[in-house]
Amino acid sequence: MVIENIGKFFDPESIAIIGASRTPGKAGYEIVRNILDNGFKGKIFLVNPHAKEILGIKAYPSVKEIPCTVDLAVLTIPAEATTEALKDCAERKIEAVVIASGGYAEIGEAGMKLQTEILRIAEESGIRIIGPNTSGIISTPSKLTASLFPLGKIRRGSISYIAQTGNFATHTMKWIMTGEEFGISRVVGLGNKCDVDDADVLEFLGEDAETKAIIMYVEGFKDARKLIEVAKKVSKKKPIVALKAGRTASGMQSAFSHTASMASNDSLVDAAFKQAGIVRVHKYSELINAAKALAFQPVPKGNKVAVLAPSGAMAVIAADACESIGLKIARLSEETLLRIRNISTSWIAIRNPVDMWGAVQTSGVEASYRIGMEAALSDRNVDAIVLILVITREIRPRSLGFIDEISQRHKTKPVLVTITGDKQLYEKAKRVLGKRGIPVFPPIEDAFVALSILYRCGQNLRQDSAPFAALQS
């Protein structure tokens, strides 16, 4: 069964690093460093014929010299050395192998021949391979970070990434760990996908109790029909968000030189993703923003949005942002409007999106937004709310705790925040609210895009996917 075969990549009891290095900066060193930094509790075996010890761990001249069973092997050796190392892994009955090194199908015919040979060895011996040409894997439930990029401690969470790129297990993960507050469950960089592909991992994550939502980066399809069929089942249980890169002629060419992937007709991709329940996005940044929204907030029951804005212009911009991406400006009840009018000034017409400037002038930022937020979320016509806040040293709430406090009273309705004003105070507020499970976005449209992703995910969870229309790889 595919799920059982894939499990050892994410929950191994022992791991061998073939090509472990004593030199900081080299892949074989950084992988070992990351494994130690994240507190992996299983057995660690290092293979380097020229070292007796690396970072305090005994090194063996060959994987054949390791005295114990090994569940997972990570190869950081040159491409030309992988066939012999893989044969050694087969002899030791290691069932899961990550090949981090490049120099295979992505470089041309010679590399393709080598990739075909390692796949032949793997198939004959029952080994599953992730890669080659990948940065590695992350599995926080097992405290395992086998990435070749210096990452440090990875924050545990519920979002998993499947990426046909090493970016998510390297610099993007560093960005998330230092710039965001949500955590990660599993990450796999698939690389050239000579064996394990998107569908294999997607099927595993679909049954994974540690994964709440799945984010994908795809350049090309190894088996498009298989991926769509698996996604149709998984998307009924968990949100799937994907960026399909290589939409333009130049992008297609870059995708092939990157991971030897052939891109498919973009209109077919669109149709197939919709039918499979995959929410498609078109910007790399949305793979982070979508994860943040999904990690922190529920999917809304509908697309009717309340907006509290700091000015009339911001209200207009918010209305355009909503209506242009499938969201609707909610029609607030008279009771809701009256509650807000009572704290505002007579010269501002109160409608949704709500111009909060008059209320702020009379009642202050915190009090006015507290009343406006409570009123809007109590309204049966509202499915979600976006708060647009101005925060400067002169204009700011005394505390941001009221946002989480009110959100907790309305747990079925997502709350998203976007902040303009002082950039340093924005960063501080983002950290404070992020730790409380409230996603914060820069001004102003990103919050609405993230909410639209939540809404589309909710639609997929509530309905059956349409019949599959053929998408050829």
Tell me: the pLDDT tens digits for 369-399? 999 999 999 999 999 999 999 999 998 898 9
Percentage of residues in the chain having pLDDT higher than 90: 89
Given 294, 309, 326, the domain boundary residue is 294
> For the segment 284-328, what is each residue's pLDDT rounded down to a tens digit?
999 999 999 999 999 999 999 999 999 999 999 999 999 999 999
Q: Which residues of 329-347 are buried (b: 16+ CB within 10 A; e: fewer)?
A: bbebbeebbebbbebbeee
**Is 469 among the domain residues?**
no
Q: How many domains does the chain have?
A: 2
pLDDT at 467: 36
Strand, helix or coil for residue 381: coil
Domain end among 239, 267, 294: 294
User: According to the model, what pLDDT value does residue 1 have?
Assistant: 43
E-only strand ranges, 316-470: 328-329, 354-355, 384-391, 415-421, 440-441
**pTM for this prediction:** 0.92
Within a domain: 471: no
Residues 6+ apart with CB under 8 A from 424: none
- For 178, residues 6+ apart whose C-beta sits below 8 A from its C-beta are none
Q: What is the pLDDT of residue 248?
A: 52
Q: What is the pLDDT of residue 166?
A: 82
Do 99 and 15 belong together in one domain? yes
Residues 224 and 113 reside in one and the same domain: yes
Q: Are residues 285 and 302 in the same domain?
A: no
Distance from C-alpha of 82 to C-alpha of 88, rounded to nearest angstrom: 10
**Strand 144-147, strand 156-163: pairing:** unpaired
How big is the CA angle at 189 (ends 272 and 21), to the nearest 5 degrees? 170
pLDDT tier at 249 (50, 70, 90 boundaries)?
A: low
Q: Are residues 403 and 438 in the same domain?
A: yes
Distances (CA, A) of 15 to 18, 39, 66, 324, 461: 10, 13, 11, 49, 37
Host domain of residue 321: 298-459
Q: What angle do CA 389, 394, 396 make, to 5 degrees?
A: 30
Do 288 and 303 share a domain, yes or no?
A: no
Q: What is the mean pLDDT of residues 264-278?
A: 90
Domain boundary among 270, 294, 318: 294
Write out the H or E segment, with its range, that includes residue 280.
strand 278-281
Whether 128 and 241 map to the same domain: the answer is yes
Give the number of residues written for the chain.
473
pLDDT at 451 over 50: yes
The SS3 of residue 33 is helix
Answer yes or no: do 455 and 319 share one domain: yes
| In-domain check, residue 23 | yes
Give the CATH number for residue 325: 3.40.50.261
Q: Are residues 447 and 361 in the same domain?
A: yes
Q: Please check whether residue 473 lies inside any domain of the structure.
A: no
Over its C-alpha atoms, the chain yields an Rg (Å, rounded) of 25
79 & 65 share domain: yes
Measured CA angle at 225 (ends 222, 229), to 5 deg: 120
- pLDDT at res. 472: 31
Count CB neighbours of 350 within 10 A. Answer: 21
Residue 75 lies in a domain: yes
Tell whether 251 and 357 lie within a shared domain.
no
Query: Quick count: other Cβ atoms within 10 Å of Cβ 114?
Result: 19
187 in Cβ contact with 160 (< 8 Å): yes
**187 and 254 fall within a common domain:** yes
Within 8 A by CB and 6+ apart from 456, the residues are 279, 326
Contacts of the segment 117-120: beta carbons below 8 A, 24+ positions apart: 117/83, 118/82, 118/83, 118/86, 118/194, 119/194, 119/195
The answer to whether residue 249 is domain-embedded is yes
Whether residues 283 and 331 fall in one domain: no
Q: What is the pLDDT of residue 149?
A: 96
Tell me, yes or no, whether 405 lies in a domain.
yes
Per-residue pLDDT, 362? 92
365 phi/psi in degrees, rounded to 5:
-65, -55
Does residue 468 belong to any structural domain of this protein? no
